[in-house]
Amino acid sequence: MHGLAVVTTTGSGVLALAGIALVGILCQWLAWRVRVPAILFLLIAGVIAGPVSGWIDPDALFGDLLFPFVSLSVAVILFEGALTLRLKELRGHGGVVRRLVGPGMLLTWAVAALAAYWAVGFRAPIAALFGALVVVTGPTVITPLLRTVRPRRNVAEVLRWEGITIDPIGALLAVLVFEFLVAREQGGAWMHVASLFAQVLGAGLVVGGGAGWLWAVVLRREWVPDFLRNVTTLAVVAGVFAGADLLAPEAGLLAVTVLGMTLANLPRVPVDEILDFKESLSLLLISSLFVILAARVDFAQFEALGWGALLVLAAIQFLARPLTVALSTAGSSLEMRERALLAWIAPRGIIAAAVSAAFAPRMVELGFAEAELLVPMVFAVIVGTVVLQSLTAAPLARWLKVAEPEARGFLILGANPVARAIATALQAQDVPVVLADTNRDNIVAARMEGLDAWYGNPMSERGEQGIEWSPLGGLLALTPNRNLNLLAVRHYRPLFGAKNVYRIRGRLPKQRTTSDVLQQQLNPPQSQHGRVLFGDHASWPELTKRLRAGAQIKATNLTEEFGWEDWVSHNPDALPLFALDAKDRVFPYLSGHSEAATVETTAFPRVLALVSES
């Protein structure tokens, strides 16, 4: 009988773990479809799975391993985010970010603590701890907002850097406040906090920086085979986190952040494959963590907060954030409208939820009964900021006129010679282009030609965070790999729309009948396979052949005196590529059908074509 009970319990645990992972990924998918931060759906799912239905009890499921699992998961998430922090990308706005995560963070802490003290009735120690917990934003909630809002690049870069760097710094602040409260009960609080701060800072910098330098040497010299590189890096992250924590309690988060930033900024360190692996793991961990932590929420505790929770949320949104941004952007080159948008966007994320869940029970043990309300109060701030800003940030950006204009640029998959020639021609017409390729030589060549090129897989989460998407409204898949082009088309259809994803042929098609051509003209390719570029005589090998023979992509202005028919008669062998309308919008010529060729010349006054040298 006892054996049957063990089997049943084990089976229930496996079912719960599998269900958490599945529900988390479904929430991520739903958030992707409706374009809001996934945290909202993850929290709702966790509440339904926990206090509403009773299906999941995280404390019973994980036991004593719950908070070690939460801490290690947060460490992996922070490391993955830190791998994207390249210092050269922050030129011009480093001072703003430093003030946001320095004095600005302290100002947010003070306002949030005072609001919790007066509006909810927290005693001063718990109010101070709450204020420290809610100073962090985070990339898991910032990135989806930026994709929806599409602010100017300098605003987006400030928000992205703030979100990643403030996570470990805010967690450190919360740790220092917590340790101060513990030490105060034993006497000597200030000396204890000063000593702890020095220990945490020293352990984090030394362990994280040293491990980062050593691991960079290992990766450069290829002492670890490719198939072990990702999992070994994961083990290094876990070891750095645990080792720093042994030297100084709670120094692990700072150490893994320093580890990631060191690897990201040292030269010739192959971190891209590691990022592809880590971002998938981070996505799974983030999804699971939010469901698990939300499942621990008690509705009765929300009722105990009363209307004071709304007052705290209002103080954070309408007082703390504007004051922080005003302090941090003083004297910067940011316009007032850009500062206003920065003052509105600061959703709270995973670190606030995870750290509050870890500290609340320990504060209750110290005799602070109201610490039971820390987790629901933090969750109220998370949900409130995410919902409010998701619904209002995009309209506000448009009203302030700091949203990017109509996206008329292209993400170009591939940085090969064909893609570079097309990108150069489009850029000459002031059309924004970003080339993405996993071939480093192609990327180097593109950058030397003055093109904006991104090294890595643009379909990864790192691509979503690293590429400036605001000016991009379509995809040109220009690689010789047909399967890769098709994969990119399917991936970007939901983002750009079926009419704005294009691919080039890998080879020329077989001879078609007149009926086939007529049918394709009446029904141009718009399926999940994407529209086929540049007419029936265009393919990647054909364009490569022409470019090697000396052909060039030239722009020609069309007028009523020199129209489309005149241009064709003067350039019988030319291959039309794009037409631009009076608003400089770009329309590619398509296989079997061309929107540009079927309208009047006055609507499309310019044509870009591949013209052979005569």
Render pLDDT for 196-252 as a digit per residue (tens, 0 to 9). Answer: 778 878 888 899 999 999 999 998 888 988 888 888 988 999 999 999 988 887 688
Q: Which residues pair with 453 in a beta bridge?
A: 435
Locate 495 and state its tokens. 């983002």
DSSP string computed for 23-57: HHHHHHHHHHHHTS-HHHHHHHHHHIIIIIT----
Q: Angle of helix 540-548 relative to helix 417-428, nearest 10 degrees?
A: 80
pLDDT band of residue 161 (cuts 50, 70, 90) is confident
User: Cα(first)–Cα(last) distance of the chain, in Å?
Assistant: 91
- For 502: left if phi > 0, alpha if psi spans -120 to 50, otherwise beta; the answer is beta
From CA 454, how far away is CA 319, in angstroms rounded?
38
The mean pLDDT of 496-525, rounded to a whole number, is 59
Q: Angle of helix 153-184 relative to helix 103-115, nearest 10 degrees?
A: 60
Do the beta carbons of residue 308 and residue 122 sit within 8 Å? no
Contacts (Cβ under 8 Å, ≥6 apart) of 271: 83, 219, 263, 264
| Higher local confidence (pLDDT), 426 or 66 | 426
Q: Cα–Cα distances in Å, from 207 out to 166, 201, 215, 249?
A: 20, 10, 12, 13
- For 592: left if phi > 0, alpha if psi spans -120 to 50, otherwise beta; the answer is left
DSSP string computed for 289-350: HHHHHHTT--HHHHHHHTTHHHHHHHHIIIIIHHHHHHHHHTTSS--HHHHHHHTT-----H
Q: Which residues pair with 412 in a beta bridge?
A: 435, 476
Strands 409-413 and 552-557: unpaired
**R_g (Cα) of the chain, nearest Å:** 27
Q: Using CA of residue 69, residue 358, residue 131, residue 245, what is the dihedral sign?
A: negative
- In this predicted structure, what is the pLDDT of residue 6? 37
In single-letter form, the type of residue at position 368 comes to F
From CA 10, how far away is CA 554, in angstroms rounded?
68
- In this predicted structure, what is the pLDDT of residue 69? 85
Lowest mean pLDDT among 13-27, 252-266, 536-550, 594-608: 594-608
Q: Does pLDDT of 614 surpass 60?
A: no
Strands 472-477 and 453-455: unpaired
Q: Does pLDDT of 191 surpass 80?
A: no
In single-letter form, the type of residue at position 104 comes to G
Q: Which of 248, 459, 347 is nearest to 43 (CA)?
A: 347
The mean pLDDT of 580-586, rounded to a whole number, is 75
- In this predicted structure, what is the pLDDT of residue 461? 64
Q: What three-state secondary structure class fits 19?
A: helix
| Higher local confidence (pLDDT), 521 or 28 | 28
| Residues 202-212: tens digit of each pLDDT | 888 899 999 99
Q: Percentage of the chain surpassing pLDDT 70?
A: 85
* Chain Cα centroid distance, residue 136: 16
The position carrying tokens 């042994």 is 246
Average pLDDT of the residues of the chain? 80
- In this predicted structure, what is the pLDDT of residue 521? 41
Q: Which residues pair with 532 in a beta bridge?
A: 503
Q: Which of 288, 396, 418 is nearest to 341 (CA)?
A: 396
| Higher local confidence (pLDDT), 272 or 18 | 18
Q: Does pLDDT of 600 surpass 60?
A: no
- In this predicted structure, what is the pLDDT of residue 513? 44
| Higher local confidence (pLDDT), 325 or 83 | 325
| Residues 31-52: tens digit of each pLDDT | 777 766 677 788 888 888 888 8
Q: Cα–Cα distances in Å, from 481 out to 302, 486, 505, 507?
A: 55, 9, 9, 10
- In this predicted structure, what is the pLDDT of residue 186? 57
pLDDT band of residue 8 (cuts 50, 70, 90) is very low
- In this predicted structure, what is the pLDDT of residue 284? 82
Q: Does pLDDT of 517 surpass 50?
A: no
- In this predicted structure, what is the pLDDT of residue 211? 93
Q: Which residues pair with 555 in a beta bridge?
A: 608
From CA 18, how far away is CA 27, in angstroms rounded?
14
From CA 241, how far away is CA 254, in angstroms rounded?
8
| Residues 351-395: tens digit of each pLDDT | 787 778 778 887 887 778 888 888 889 988 988 898 888 888 888
The mean pLDDT of 585-608, rounded to a whole number, is 61
Predicted structure pTM score: 0.65
Q: Cα–Cα distances in Å, from 380 out to 119, 215, 468, 535?
A: 14, 40, 31, 55
Lowest mean pLDDT among 147-151, 186-190, 205-209, 291-295: 186-190
Q: Which long-range contacts (CB under 8 A, 24 or more apart) does 227-232 make?
A: 229/273, 229/274, 230/273, 230/274, 230/277, 230/278
Q: Which of 343, 222, 342, 229 is nearest to 276 (CA)?
A: 229
Locate 280 and state its tokens. 């998938």
Q: Does pLDDT of 530 surpass 70?
A: no
The mean pLDDT of 188-203, rounded to a whole number, is 76
Q: Which residues pair with 557 in a beta bridge?
A: 606
- In this predicted structure, what is the pLDDT of residue 275? 67
Contacts (Cβ under 8 Å, ≥6 apart) of 453: 415, 434, 435, 436, 437, 442, 443, 446, 447
Instruction: Give the chain's domains with CATH numbers.
Output: 2-187+270-400 (1.20.1530.20), 409-611 (3.40.50.720)
pLDDT band of residue 278 (cuts 50, 70, 90) is low
- In this predicted structure, what is the pLDDT of residue 466? 72
Lowest mean pLDDT among 7-16, 221-230, 569-578: 7-16
- In this predicted structure, what is the pLDDT of residue 7? 36
| Residues 328-353: tens digit of each pLDDT | 999 888 899 999 999 999 988 777 87
Strands 606-611 and 552-557: antiparallel
The position carrying tokens 């990702």 is 230
pLDDT band of residue 139 (cuts 50, 70, 90) is low
Question: Going edge to edge, which strands form the sheet with 586-588?
Answer: 552-557, 606-611, 575-580, 586-588
From CA 224, how far away is CA 542, in angstroms rounded?
41
At residue 218's C-alpha, the angle toward residues 213 and 221, to 5°, is: 120
Do the beta carbons of residue 536 and residue 514 sit within 8 Å? no
- Give exposure, 333-367, as e/b (b: 16+ Cβ within 10 Å): ebbeebbbbbbbbbbbbbbbbbbbbbbbeebeeee
Lowest mean pLDDT among 33-42, 70-79, 269-278, 336-345: 269-278
Locate 439 and state its tokens. 């071939």
| Higher local confidence (pLDDT), 515 or 180 | 180
